Amino acid sequence: MSETTLLSARGVSLSFGAIQALVGVDADLWPGEVLAIVGESGSGKTTLLNVLSGRAAPGTGAVWYRTPDGQLLDVHTMPAPALRRLHRSDWGFVHQDPRQNLRMGVTAGGNVGERLMAQGSRHYGHIRDAARDWLVQTEIDPKRIDDLPRTFSGGMLQRLQIARTLVTHPRLVFMDEPTGGLDVSVQARLLDLIRSLVARFGIAVVLVTHDIAVARLLAHRTMVMQGGRVVETGLTDQVLDDPQHAYTQLLVSSVLNA
């Protein structure tokens, strides 16, 4: 078990005018760990994800990332090109809407290969082989490699986004409601795919979801947010089966059992 965190946040606060989006949030993520951030709309979970990944700057507080060679980088003071490089190599980001990440005018294979090229790969044959391999890993028929994403279903687009994200073997992936807006059957397939890929490659994940069943299936630890604050955090099954905070009890008791 590693004693050093991959990502740490301390005292992160952020206000939008009079609205306190984040209030004194601390968070830690260890290598290979899946951390879920749950809470209702407006609780600050997506804002926190954006601050953790350097996409939004906090008002106060800091976020550090530890590189593979042990260097600590302050995510919000590092030069912008270095942060972009991090997003292209060590990190990945999976959006709820895959269109935010995919280039709709580029073929499926091109979408996956592009991230490898951004990392410096130049050999066309290798790039195409890697793209085909990742289409297969994400259960997309490799015959579709030269098709445009606009001909794909919603579930396929989400899987293509995951292929594009994982092709560079990131150590840390941020996911914002990756199964939101999908049919239940499509959602189950995607969850199982994420679960097995994350375990196989030992990827650390910060996962934002409003669906506590998703947290239970994927996350080792869960943080519960309400009004920009972390009200409870711990082992996922402990937080969900023995919730201590009034808001977590409400969240857990509000779920319908199918």
Residues that bind another protein (CB under 8 A): 1, 30, 33, 188-189, 191-192, 195, 217, 220-221, 234-235, 237-238, 241-242, 244-246, 249-250, 253
Residue with tokens 């979408």, as numbered in its chain: 111
Q: How far is the CB of 233 from another protein (least distance, A)?
A: 9
Contact 57, 51 (CB under 8 A): yes
Return the structure tokens found at 236. Answer: 């996922």
Q: How far is the CB of 243 from another protein (least distance, A)?
A: 9
**CA angle (34 as vertex; 131, 76 as ends), nearest 5:** 85
Q: Are strands 172-176 and 204-209 parallel, antiparallel or unpaired?
A: parallel
Q: How far is the CB of 70 from another protein (least distance, A)?
A: 20
Cβ distance to another protein smaller for residue 171 or 221: 221
Contact 228, 20 (CB under 8 A): yes
Cβ distance to another protein smaller for residue 15 or 154: 154
Cβ distance to another protein smaller for residue 161 or 233: 233
Contact 228, 22 (CB under 8 A): yes
Cβ distance to another protein smaller for residue 74 or 241: 241
Q: How far is the CB of 241 from another protein (least distance, A)?
A: 6
Torsion over CA: 86, 90, 95, 100 (sign): positive
